[in-house]
Structure 1
Amino acid sequence: MDFENKTVIITGGAGGIGAAVAREFHARGAKVACCDLNGEAADAVAKECGGFGKRVNVADEGEMVVFIGEVERDLGPVDIFFANAGVGFGDGPVGGAAGAPNANWEKAWQINVMHAVYAARHVLPGMAARGSGAFMITASAAGLLAQIGDAAYSATKAAAISVAESISISHGDRGVQSHAICPQYVKTKMTKDLPEVMTAVDGMITAEDAAKTIVDGVAENRFLILTHPVVADHFAKKAGDRDRWLGGMRKLRRMLLEMNGGRVI
């Protein structure tokens, strides 16, 4: 895919991976609109990138529809949609995988999964009619491997990969690319408090390095885009011997508990 003069929407675009990807797309010729709960920061990033931004609650389909309409009116039909906004809360102090309150599970579901569904409903028909476009979902390496200490995050990110697969199956023959973006540890606000024992195994990279890998993956039409290629090896081991992999994850969890006074993260 050539990005020259393409219109891109990025959710969660106020900072981190979203902002870095916005700048990378713009450097390759695209016009980028960003939305985020921090509307002021999203607008500042987007104005650097030839577009505009505003505050949008992506869990509200109506707000998403209004924003998509404004972008199409001012910048043109949406060529690329990056459903990047996401949240993680942790399992809570007690209860392990069942410890998080219902409200956290529901918010994770709405933001990590449904906001991509809401967007897809309103941009995929146009992409398919034009015979081109790309739909991107930030699914995280946790969607492939699981995040110790956050069952809701792991489950919803796995669901996000499934949504991206379904988009590829349903719309790929009509020229629409689908991409599951699966970052591992990238220097952002979301990862700043993670224990070093977790982030040191495969390394922490910058958002700018992640953005280059992500945009390259879209240009090359790769479905699964990994900021850390070693994640593919981990996933293969998980698929090859699930019992052994689960045992290794339990061992890592015990280490985290010992190092953090009984807390995983």
Structure 2
Amino acid sequence: MGTMELTGKVAIITGAAGGIGAALAEALLAAGARVVVSDLDEARLAETAERIGAVAVPGDASSEAVISAMVAAAEEHYGPVDLFFANAGVGDGSGLAATDEQWRTALDVNVLAHVRAARLLVPGWVERGSGWFVSTASAAGLLTQIGSATYSVTKHGAVAFAEWLAVTYGDRGVGVSCLCPMGVDTDMLRGGMTSSGGEGGRVAAAAVTGAGEVLAPRDVADQVLAAVTEGTFLITPHADVREFVRRKAADHDRWIHGMQRYQQHLMGDAR
């Protein structure tokens, strides 16, 4: 896997009305890239796109038709797509009580949206010998997410798919990076996990904010672009994440017992 110079490149970013996605768009534009942004929140997306000077394609990031529309808009305005940032995500505080519909939504947005975008773009990148796929996963995809089964499982899936893409296509001109942060100051952290998850949502949010510093979206975006230009796969803006992963791998049982104790502590605080 090589590196990519961003000047003049064409990028698509999902989940870009705010948070990490909007910060990525701003950082890419500052680096000289040309950008298409997408989000389910059409009004907020339009405001963001106008403010930063990007082309907006509203819609569901997991929809094949919307993904195709993003690519068509990028090609119409700028040319072939060079980078795709699969950044849209959903999270809640559901455990075993999560409905099949909640599971389908999480799987669609957090995993299958990545698969569908890669299916459309990667063959062309292989033919051209150049392209970059960036998956916004989570530290939950390397560890777990206390309080949310749907988020933990689907973010593991996002990491696994990014790894598979890198292994399968990394020596054929396709770069892959996987972003795995802990707390970032976004709508999801501030309210997304708590809005539908009750106590589970509050515990999930507390688990993230209590584990380390909550970073600004632009700080994370700058690290993502540095990883792309340097050819780095795993992006962990919170340095502690790699140490947590090391401890998990070294003694899985001890790690689980430690997480159980942390959960008990958080649940006590949430009451």
Q: Match for 2:76: what amino acid?
A: R
Out of 148, 151, 154, the residue aligned to residue 149 of structure 2 is: 151
Partner of 1:64: 67
Partner of 2:196: none
Q: Match for 1:154: what amino acid?
A: S
**Structure 1 residues 83-232: aligned runs within 5 Å:** 83-91=86-94, 97-193=95-191, 196=206, 198-232=208-242
Matched, 1:242 2:252: yes
Q: Match for 1:225: what amino acid?
A: I
Alpha-carbon shift at residue 198 of structure 1 (Å): 4.1
Partner of 2:84: 81
Alpha-carbon shift at residue 115 of structure 1 (Å): 0.5
**Structure 1 residues 32-47: aligned runs within 5 Å:** 32-47=35-50
Q: Match for 1:16: what amino acid?
A: G
Alpha-carbon shift at residue 50 of structure 1 (Å): 4.5
Higher relative contact order (CA 8 A, sep 6+): 2
**TM-score normalised to the size of structure 1?**
0.92
Alpha-carbon shift at residue 62 of structure 1 (Å): 1.7
Report if the CA contact (8 A) 2:57-2:69 is conserved: no
CA deviation string 1:186-235 (max 9, x = no partner):
11111115555641332111111111111111111111011112100100
Report if the CA contact (8 A) 1:179-1:225 is conserved: yes
Alpha-carbon shift at residue 171 of structure 1 (Å): 1.2
Report if the CA contact (8 A) 1:6-1:30 is conserved: yes
**TM-score normalised to the size of structure 2?**
0.90
Alpha-carbon shift at residue 237 of structure 1 (Å): 0.4
Partner of 1:12: 15
Structure 2 stretches of 5 or more lacking a match?
Answer: 192-201
- Cα separation, 2, equivalents of 1:108 and 1:257: 24
Alpha-carbon shift at residue 72 of structure 1 (Å): 1.3
Partner of 2:198: none
Q: Match for 2:28: what amino acid?
A: F
User: What SS is found at the alignment partner of 2:264?
Assistant: helix
User: What SS is found at the alignment partner of 2:267?
Assistant: helix
Report if the CA contact (8 A) 2:165-2:176 is conserved: yes
Does the C-alpha gap of structure 1 residues 3 and 198 become closer, same or farther in structure 2, counting only changes over 3 Å? closer
The root-mean-square deviation of aligned C-alpha atoms, in Å, is 1.5
Does 63-72 or 191-200 show the bigger shift? 191-200
User: What SS is found at the alignment partner of 1:134?
Assistant: strand
- Cα separation, 2, equivalents of 1:164 and 1:252: 29
Identity over aligned residues, as a percent? 39
Report if the CA contact (8 A) 1:44-1:53 is conserved: no
Structure 1 stretches of 5 or more lacking a match?
Answer: 92-96
- Cα separation, 1, equivalents of 2:207 and 2:85: 30
